[in-house]
Amino acid sequence: MTRTAFSVVVVVLLFIGLSGSVSAGRDLVGDILRLPSEASRFFGRGHGADVADDIDDDSSGTKWAVLIAGSNGYWNYRHQADICHAYQLLKKGGLKDENIIVFMYDDIALNEENPRPGVIINKPDGDDVYEGVPKDYTGEDVTVDNFFAVILGNKTALTGGSGKVVDSGPNDHIFIYYSDHGGPGVLGMPTSPYLYADDLIEVLKKKHASGTYKRLVFYLEACESGSIFEGLLPEGLNIYATTASNAEESSWGTYCPGEDPSPPEEYETCLGDLYSVAWMEDSDKHNLRTETLRDQYRLVKTRTANENSAYGSHVMQYGDIGLSTDSLVWYLGTNPENENSTFVDENSLRPPTKAINQRDADLVHFWDKFRKAPEGSPRKIEAQKQFVEAMSHRMHIDNSVKLIGKLLFGIEKGPEVLNTVRPVGQPLVEDWDCLKTLVRTFETHCGSISQYGMKHMRSFANICNAGIKKDQMAEVSAQACVSIPSGPWSSLHKGFSA
């Protein structure tokens, strides 16, 4: 047989063998002939082939992103700054505006307190991150229902806003990033009600059941943010989540007055959140084709948990941890300017010398505003009033919850019941409807828990776990709170959180 004839026979045999593979097992190669460049997906790459596709194949399917800042008020500047920064990062990464959906109250850029009208920065020497950000859902349209409708792609359930939803398909990748205050089992919103963990998990399960994504990544910045997923987010949904803190601790603001580095002198508020700044500043400088979710998780965890200081939180991961081998490019895209960046497995970004507990950032703002205002000026008087109102609200909420615990369980046992932490891996509460009912009952008699009072959600959950019913809660709440305090933190103005 000649060499040419032999070659023809080999080609024919290979073609016949390939055709047999196609007809015998469509799941292996599909219904089309694969090119040599796609051979790696024919033969697999061991464990990585089960978890991740070819590292360069970020073009199949569409990248979607949902960004949400769950607060309002200038003292919460950092949350909207985080979200705006995330938008700029995704935009440089190649995502289109039609696939990026932004929730933010939008009361920061043009706020009278903002020293640079129309500009928002996320670090002391940072560029404007506000320019070009889509105004999809702003003001009173930043609601839990709209957030859920957007994730599920349900346009008919929307109320107001741009109408954009995650209209995703089975090959698409979805990135969700939330930044705000939180508490055990709950995330804040600028409107009422707040976002409860069980409702979020149900929405994610529905999204998975609809078959409208390939993989979903959720980055969550909030106090006790681990409680949103711990014991609740099952494996097998193709969802990978990381949180700024575990289920028992606060997260932290950064670039705050008095820190090193501190914001420019004219700013009287924190510019960012520690976990959020950590993952975004890492993404800003690296080639995200070669950096994985796991790589970023490790760097962010190191920067956020400062073992040598009194501050810091433990960054956690939940869900399908195996997805952490995915390259970040599938979710965030990558800035072409970083193509030649070489990933270094160490944290080159310096952590700040200190950080501010998320729940104290408002007090820092009011105090810095008071400190800088001219003596006797209306601005100084206003800052003093804001500080006193915030402190009075905190004392009212703290004392009311403590008294309710004692009325229900006794002087000695009350604090023990309220502060009990369930074992790792268990959800916060068994009956989420009970939790919401007791929170609503408390607020009916004592006023809104607000962003600060979310720290007591574990106490309400423990009261539920102890078998206390609505009528009992109403009776002790009425005894603990003779009247609902007035003021900006009152439920008379803000509505109920549940």
What integer pLDDT is reported at residue 487 of this predicted model? 72
How sure is the predictor about 277, in pLDDT bands with cuts at 50, 70 and 90? very high
How sure is the predictor about 256, in pLDDT bands with cuts at 50, 70 and 90? very high
Quick: pLDDT tens for 135-146: 999 999 999 999
CB 266 within 8 A of CB 115: yes
Residue ranges, comma separated, of all CATH 1.10.132.130 domains in the chain are 378-494
CB 388 within 8 A of CB 362: no
CB 276 within 8 A of CB 242: no
**Percentage of residues of the chain with pLDDT beyond 70:** 84
Residue range 310-324: average pLDDT?
Answer: 92
* For residue 281, pLDDT beyond 80: yes
**Percentage of residues of the chain with pLDDT beyond 90:** 78
Using alpha carbons, select from 192, 137, 144 the residue that is nearest to residue 160.
Answer: 137
366-375 contacts: CB < 8 A, separation 24 or more?
366/75, 366/390, 368/257, 368/258, 368/268, 368/269, 369/113, 369/268, 372/268
How sure is the predictor about 280, in pLDDT bands with cuts at 50, 70 and 90? very high
DSSP state of 57: -
Using alpha carbons, select from 243, 251, 192, 197 the residue that is nearest to residue 71.
Answer: 192
As beta bridge partners, residue 357 has 252
Phi, psi of 292, rounded to the nearest 5 degrees: -100, 170
* For residue 13, pLDDT beyond 50: no
In the three-class reduction of DSSP (H, G, I as helix; E, B as strand; rest coil), residue 368 is classed as helix
* For residue 100, pLDDT beyond 60: yes
How sure is the predictor about 295, in pLDDT bands with cuts at 50, 70 and 90? very high
Mean pLDDT of the chain: 87
- Asked which of 21-35, 299-313, 319-333 is least confident by mean pLDDT, the reply is 21-35
Global pTM?
A: 0.87
Name the more confident of 420 and 344.
Answer: 420
Q: Which CATH class is domain 63-357?
A: alpha beta
How sure is the predictor about 345, in pLDDT bands with cuts at 50, 70 and 90? low
As beta bridge partners, residue 252 has 357
DSSP string, 62-94: -EEEEEEE---SGGGHHHHHHHHHHHHHHHHTT
**N-terminal to C-terminal alpha carbon distance within the chain:** 82
CB 352 within 8 A of CB 255: yes
* For residue 39, pLDDT beyond 70: no
Quick: pLDDT tens for 148-183: 999 999 999 999 999 999 999 999 999 999 999 999
Tokens 């943010």, located at residue: 225
Token pair for 202: 């149900």
Positive or negative torsion for Cα 153, 159, 163, 164:
negative
* For residue 44, pLDDT beyond 70: no
Distance CA 159, CA 217 (A): 26
For 399, other C-beta atoms within 10 Å of its C-beta total 13
* For residue 360, pLDDT beyond 60: yes
What integer pLDDT is reported at residue 481 of this predicted model? 95
* For residue 445, pLDDT beyond 50: yes
Quick: pLDDT tens for 178-197: 999 999 999 999 999 999 99
Residue range 112-123: average pLDDT?
Answer: 98
Residue range 220-234: average pLDDT?
Answer: 98
Phi-psi region of 420 (alpha: psi -120 to 50; beta: other; left: phi over 0): beta
Residue range 439-459: average pLDDT?
Answer: 95
Active site residues: 181, 223
Tokens 């008020």, located at residue: 73
What integer pLDDT is reported at residue 485 of this predicted model? 76
* For residue 16, pLDDT beyond 90: no
Q: Which CATH class is domain 378-494?
A: mainly alpha
- Asked which of 24-38, 58-72, 386-400 is least confident by mean pLDDT, the reply is 24-38
Quick: pLDDT tens for 84-98: 999 999 999 999 999
Distance CA 450, CA 195 (A): 13
What integer pLDDT is reported at residue 4 of this predicted model? 42
Quick: pLDDT tens for 391-409: 999 999 999 999 999 999 9
Residue 78, judged by CB atoms within 10 A of its CB (0-12, 13-18, 19+), counts as buried
Using alpha carbons, select from 215, 218, 280 the residue that is nearest to residue 63.
Answer: 215
What integer pLDDT is reported at residue 90 of this predicted model? 98
Quick: pLDDT tens for 370-398: 999 999 999 999 999 999 999 999 999 99
As beta bridge partners, residue 25 has none
What integer pLDDT is reported at residue 493 of this predicted model? 66
What integer pLDDT is reported at residue 346 of this predicted model? 58
What integer pLDDT is reported at residue 482 of this predicted model? 87
How sure is the predictor about 353, in pLDDT bands with cuts at 50, 70 and 90? low
In the three-class reduction of DSSP (H, G, I as helix; E, B as strand; rest coil), residue 317 is classed as strand
